[in-house]
Structure formats: structure tokens, C-alpha cells
Structure 1
Amino acid sequence: MMNEPKVKVSFKLILPLLAAIIAVSPLAIDMYLPGMPELANYFSTKMPLVQNSLSIYLLGYAVGLLVFGPMADKYSRRTMIMMGLSGFLLTTLGLTLVENIEQFIALRFCQAFISSAATVVVPGIIRQLYGKNTAKGLSYVSMIMMLAPMIAPSIGSLLLLHSWQMIFYVLASYAFIVFICSATFLPDVTMPKPKKTYRVIERYKIVFSNRAARFDLLSVMMVSLAFFAYITAIPFVYLMVFKVSEFEFSLLFGMNVFALMIAHFINTRFVVNVGSRKMLYFGLSLAIVMSTSLLLANIFALPLLYHVIVILPLMGSLSMISVNADALILQEFADHAGTVTAVNGTLRFGIGALAGPILAVFYDGSALPFALLMAVSIYLVMACQLIRNKLNIAKEAV
């Protein structure tokens, strides 16, 4: 393993900046959601086409990760961030000038694709700066970054009072501010020149052939399936099944985001002394209990309060599993952090995209399919970790 580069940096400054960089995509996704009906009217098109712009954004982001991930292991990470932010800025401004839904969707793909160049390098920077305490750094950044999805829909609703274009003007302004801050304060944490030069295919082969990280990657995929099941189903569960008001839904959704932040904060307090693997097990144990409780709550048709009490710690446990699995994966690939981040992100979005179709197939007008998918996803994480431990024990015995 190569020696870690010595980078003098103020963590109080760099972590919020890295969180601001990662928050670009959540803001681009969540801020325009309230404006979808207005976009449909403006372009004189049907709502499903406008909704498809979100799927196209996720596709563009996943493709961008595959392209820019290996580049992040070869070129300056600061340069990658500058390129990604400037590209996001230009495409976001371009969205305000489109004349039809086809142009809008095409630019959304480009916006997501180029923005991934900035975000794909952030986990690698954190790994370099934090070393064996990577999980702590990831938790801090995630905790700060989660403010974005918490407030983005509300900001978007306010901006709609002017026009839907104002949403993208504000997004562009945000990207410009982050670009200036990155150019001013972000250190150049370029990876040391490796002893061997790898081709892109070789980098991906190294990641997929690593048995130690394989089951952690699978665990991250299953957690992502559970998380996207929540994102997809929770509006229906709260608004349609339990008939809460839109204001009550906003409060409940915000509470769950807050639970994610609390989980990350707890992780930062204990992970240095306990280790990422034990914190992952703690999160998994909590997730098993809570996902099973959620399933039972639906089987026995328990009231809303019980669901709220169970979902809060369940969402926190998902974030704890995810951030510690990410840290363990990154530690396995000191020379290929960008590539493994690309693989990780693509697998997340790929499996997450299946949540909607799965829920649609098993739709029965209740919240049971949602609870069942959450529980099955967590049980599969448990299976992955049990198999990993069994293989490790067998390896040590040999």
C-alpha cells in the first residue's frame, strides 16, 4: 500500500465544503420536485414525461460515475471537482432556456453526467485525509449534506412563487458559490503516482475480484434497495394509507431525515474506538429488529404512531450500515478509490431503481409490500455479512 499523502488542511473547513459538493445532486433532484406539475403545463406535456426527467437524471449520474471514477484515480481530484461544478453550472443555466420537454430531459442527463465528476472524488479525498478513520469523516460529511434533502422541497416551493426557472437559477448560484469556495480553499489531494499504471478495465477487474469487499458491496446494494423503497413508498404510505395532511407529511419526512443525521453523529462518536465493522453490526442488529417490527405492524394493521416510532430508528440504522460499509470498502482499495466509488454508486442506483417496479408488482393498496421489501432487504444484508464471516473464518483456519 502506498504511503498516504501529507495534506495540511482544516477539517472544520474542508468537511462542510465536501458536503456542499456532494449536496449538488440531492438539491438538483429534490428542489424541482414541487415544480413538476408546472413544468408539465409549461411544456404542454403529460406528467409521466416530466417524471421521467428524474429517472434520466439518475441514469446520467450513474453513467458519469462509471466514466469519471477511474479518472479520479489518475488525475487531480481538485481539477475533477472544478470540471464537475463548472459543467453543472453551465447545464443548469441551460435548463432555464429550453423550449420543450425533450430538450429539458436531454440537459438533465448532461447535468447529472458532468456533476458526477465532482462528487465521485469526494469519498477518495475523505479516505486520504482520514485514513483508518474514514467512516468518521464520511459520517460528518453525510450528516452535513443531509440538510439538503431536508430543506430542498420547501425551497423549491417558495421559488415556484416566481417561476420554475428560478429554481435552476438558484441551483446555478449555489454551484457558483461552491465552485469559488473550492477554488479558494480546497487542497489538491492528488494521489501519489502509483508504481503500476492501470487501464480502466483493469481497475474495475481489481474491484470486482476482491473477495474481502464483495459482500460489503452487496450489503450496500441491499441497504440502497431498502432506502429507495422508503423514498418511493413513503408518500403513498403516509398520504394515502394513513391519510395525513401534506404539512404532517413534511414534518414526518423531516423527522426521518433528522434520524439519519443523528445516526451519523452517533457513528462519529464511537467508530474511532469501536471500528467500522462493529458499528456496521450494531446498525444491522437495530435494522433487523426494526424492519421485523415494521412488518409485524402491517400484518396486524397497527396505527400510524407505531409506524412512525419504528421507521425513525430503522432509517437511522440504514445510514449506519451504509456509511460503515462504504468506509470498509474504501479501505480495501487505497489506489482505486475513484473506481470503487463509481462501482459503489452505480450498483446503488441500479438496485435502487428496482424498488419502484417491485413495489408496483406487489401493490395491494396497503403499506405491506413496502414493509416486506424493507425487511427482505435487511435480511439479505444479514445473509451477506454471515457469509462473509464464514468465509473469513474458513480462510483463517486454512
Structure 2
Amino acid sequence: MNKLTKAQFIVVIILSLLSAIEPFSIDLYLPGFLKISQTFNTDLKNVQLSLSFFLGGFAAGQLFWGIISDRYGRKLPTIASLIIFILASVACIYSETIEQFWTARFFQAFAGCAGVVIARAVVNEYYSADQSMNVFSLLAIIAGVAPIVGPVAGNFLISHFVWQSTFVTLVVLGIICLLAVIFFLPETRIVTEKVNTNLMADFKEIVKNSIFVKYTLIGSLTYSILMIYLANAPYLIMEYGGLSSNTFSSIFAFNAIGLILGAWLANSVLSRWWTVEQIIKYTIYFGLAWTAAFVVMCLLKEPIQALLVPLFFIVLTLGVLFPTTTKLALAPFTTNSGSASALLGTLQLLLTFIISAVTNLIPADIMSLTAYSLLACHILYLACYFIKEEKQTI
């Protein structure tokens, strides 16, 4: 692996901060739902809707910032998005009604997602093919750290201060990112004479690339599996397993470490023996085997202590697949990296929504539904993996 220069390492830190904005914007305020509902004199369902508005803004914003960053470079759109993010976070602090809070959360996500989208494009442009795998793995590790640190930090803030302190923290994070981008982030967009202003034409050109389609689908299924796990883990561990909330937090943190371990294995261990394509193939087979074991254990009504073993290894495979599929999905793109990154993120959310909607229609108990959903995703993994690749650079 090529070692990073000092300047490249500084950019890694900036990209890490930008990538942390979205998960921390979700995880920090979760422990404050009850206090937020009391402040706005509303029920918890309306507070939970603020998360839906956030995800909606996140999905819409990715397409916008991806195409904007391809047109005007990576740096200026990032600066603009961070200013909007800071203002939206301030609006969250001073919201007087739940409707105002919903609106502020939407624009907070709409702006905050630019960091995630543009960070992926910058990695694809600024680092060599060998280095990019290392950086994508680091960004995946951050995604694994957030579920551990976010709720703990949020709980501390809400326990010692008002719930608005979580959004003050996000304002501070936004300001730090803004200053770092202004003074230290280089412009990485590759300038060409061609300036295509047709958004749909851009996306049409991108989805014609079979490599992008193949690894975006695999990456989207990976994201879907993570959401299935996050949505059903509380039931499996606390309701079915009968374990306490404190034990649940410990198990949740331990599995998040599995996500981090997977990203480290992909970058530092497996890459020594196999190509990125081989790592993905063998990881899919590995995950399918553990998912089959999980399904059998669910059918046999095994205790939660037994179910946690395959669950850990399933989550570990996600840590391997997130950086590897992102690297390969974006590898064919030069001038259109921002649009490709935005489309990748949007398709992840879209496929996750479709899978969630379809599985919720299945008349089955939560345990069976979880098992069959995971198995279906892993079978789809295999179908996607055998999509024929045609080399093409855009």
C-alpha cells in the first residue's frame, strides 16, 4: 500500500469529519426523544417523524449536491452545504413547534449529506487506487463508531443539559468542518472541457456502467441488511432474549465493533491475499453461510445467546463490504464522481425502503421476518455478483 503524505492525511481527517456529520445528526438526539416531546407538547410518534424528515432530506440532498459538485467543484459546494447545515442546526435549537423542528431537520439532512457524497468523490479523485481502499475503510470505520459514541454522548449531554445541547454540538461540529474545508481541503474535481448540464443525461450515462450497477446493488443490499439488523435488534435482544436495556447497549456496541473489525480486515488483512473483487465474493459466501445458520437457529427457537453468534459475523461482513463495494462502484468515474456518489447513496436508501416495505407485508412474526429478510438479501447478493462487468470509464 502506498503511504499517505502529510497533506493526504489531513484530507483524510477532513473527510472523516464530513462523513461523521450524518450519523451523529441521527444518533446524538435519539436519547432526547422524550424531552423533545415534552418541549413541543406532542407525542413520541411526532418526534419520531423528525427522523423520517431527516432521512427524506438526506435522500433528496444527495442527488442535488452530487450534481452540483460535478459542475462547480468539490470545495465551494461543501462550504455552502456546511453553512446551510449550521443554520438548520440553529433552527432546530430555536424551533417553537414540532412542525418547525421537522422542517429544520429536513434542511439539516439536505445540507449535511453533502459531506458524505462529496467525501466519496474526493476519495475517488484525490487518492491512488491502492490508497482509496484504505480511506474508504476508514470512512466505514467511522460509520461503525457513530452508533457507539453517538447515543452515549447524546445521553450524557441530555442528562446534564437541555436536549438542545445535542444540536449545539452539531453546530460546533459544523463550524469545525467549515473551517477545515476552507483552509485545508484542496479542489479535487478533474476539470474537462465538457460541461453537461442535463441531470438525467448524467445519471443515464452512469447507470449504463455495469460495474457501477453491480457494486451499487451489492452495496445497497449491504445497507439494507444493516437497517434490518438495527430495526429488529431491540426486539431480538430485549423482547425475545429477555435481556436488559443495559445489556442491549453492550451487545449493540460489541456488534458495532464487528463492523469496524470488518472494515479493518478488508483493508489491512484480506487485501494482502485477494483482489477487491475476490474479497467481495468470498465475503458474500461467508455471510450467506452465517445467515443460513441464523435462519436454522431461529426456526429451532434457540436462545438469544446462540443467535448472537451468527448476528455478529453477519454484521462483520457488512464492515468488509461497505468500503469494497463503494471503491469498485466509483472506480470507473472521473468527471462524474459526484453524481455517481450521489446516485449510489440514493439507490441505497431507495432499495432499503423497498425491501422494508415488502417485508412488512409478509405475515410472519418478527423473528421469522428478520431471518427470511436477511436470507433473501444474501441470495440477492449472489444474483448481483454474477452480473457481467463491462469495463468503461466516465
State TM-score, norm by structure 2: 0.92
Q: Which residue matches 1:178?
A: 177
Between stretches 360-369 and 244-253, larger displacement belongs to: 360-369
Q: Deviations over 1:310-331 (max 9, x none)?
A: 1111111123223211111111
Q: Which residue matches 1:197?
A: 195
Letter in 2 for 1:318: L
Of 27, 32, 57 in structure 1, the residue corresponding to residue 29 of structure 2 is: 32
Between stretches 223-232 and 353-362, larger displacement belongs to: 353-362
Question: RMSD of aligned C-alpha atoms?
Answer: 2.0
Helix, strand or coil: the match of 1:120?
A: helix
Q: Which residue matches 1:334?
A: 334
In the aligned structure 2, how far is the partner of 1:288 from the partner of 1:280?
12
Q: Deviations over 1:74-94 (max 9, x none)?
A: 222122221222211111011
- 1:135·1:271 contact (CA, 8 Å) conserved in 2? no
Q: Percent identity?
A: 22
Between stretches 139-148 and 149-158, larger displacement belongs to: 139-148
Q: Give 1:11 shift.
A: 3.4
Q: Deviations over 1:90-128 (max 9, x none)?
A: 110111111111000011101111112232110111112
Q: Deviations over 1:158-180 (max 9, x none)?
A: 11122111111111112112222
What is the correspondence of 1:238-277 to structure 2 with a 5 Å cutoff?
238-269=237-268, 270-271=270-271, 274-277=274-277
What is the correspondence of 1:211-250 to structure 2 with a 5 Å cutoff?
211-250=210-249
Is 1:375 the counterpart of 2:375? The answer is yes
Is 1:95 the counterpart of 2:109? The answer is no
Q: Which residue matches 1:118?
A: 115
Q: Which residue matches 1:293?
A: 293
- 1:228·1:355 contact (CA, 8 Å) conserved in 2? no
Letter in 1 for 2:105: R
Q: How many residues align?
A: 384
Moved over 6 A (4+): none
- 1:19·1:145 contact (CA, 8 Å) conserved in 2? no
- 1:232·1:356 contact (CA, 8 Å) conserved in 2? no
- 1:81·1:119 contact (CA, 8 Å) conserved in 2? no
Distance 1:41-1:365 versus aligned 2 partners, 3 A rule:
farther
In the aligned structure 1, how far is the partner of 2:164 from the partner of 2:341?
32
Helix, strand or coil: the match of 2:142?
A: helix
Q: Which residue matches 1:188?
A: 187
Q: Give 1:9 shift.
A: 5.2
What is the correspondence of 1:283-322 to structure 2 with a 5 Å cutoff?
283-322=283-322
Q: Structure 1: which 5+ residue stretches go unaligned?
A: 1-6
Distance 1:159-1:258 versus aligned 2 partners, 3 A rule:
same
Of 129, 133, 136 in structure 2, the residue corresponding to residue 138 of structure 1 is: 136
In the aligned structure 1, how far is the partner of 2:80 from the partner of 2:191?
21
Q: Give 1:144 shift.
A: 3.5
Q: Which residue matches 1:3?
A: none
State TM-score, norm by structure 1: 0.91
Q: Structure 2: which 5+ residue stretches go unaligned?
A: none
Q: Give 1:273 shift.
A: 6.0
Letter in 1 for 2:207: F
- 2:33·2:47 contact (CA, 8 Å) conserved in 1? yes
Q: Give 1:69 shift.
A: 0.8
Q: Which residue matches 2:157?
A: 159
- 1:83·1:118 contact (CA, 8 Å) conserved in 2? no
Q: Give 1:157 shift.
A: 1.1
